[in-house]
Amino acid sequence: GNSVTQMEGPVTLSEEAFLTINCTYTATGYPSLFWYVQYPGEGLQLLLKATKADDKGSNKGFEATYRKETTSFHLEKGSVQVSDSAVYFCALSEWNFNKFYFGSGTKLNVKP
């Protein structure tokens, strides 16, 4: 079956620190992979996505590379800001399927 596993939070960092949030997946076919972000009191917003192996998604200084050999899609940012404090969700969607599979979310707290 399909599933997504992400590191448990919360993750607490100081401003300008390097961020990694780990995400691994299990899929029966050829999934697309996504990172969504949820700011306090809001719904989820798409942060970035990758549709095939070795693709790199990037947005707002965040990056993630689709690694088929390790079934991973880790989220990274070189220098986090207080405004990055949010919950981050890794997700997959299989080709020609409408369903998404979400990880449990990782809360990031960035302190000034």
Cis peptide before 10, with omega less than 30 degrees from 0? Answer: yes
- At 96, list the tokens: 């020609």
Helix-, strand-, coil-residue percentages of the chain, each rounded to 5: 5, 55, 45
As measured in angstroms, the least distance from the Cβ of 112 to another protein is 26
Amino acid (one-letter) located at 86: A
Task: Kindly tell me which of 34 and 62 has the beta carbon lying closer to another protein.
Answer: 34
Contact pattern for another protein over residues 51 through 90, marking x by CB under 8 A: x-------------------------------------x-
Q: Which residues bind another protein (CB under 8 A)?
A: 30-32, 34, 36, 41-46, 49, 51, 89, 93-100, 102-105
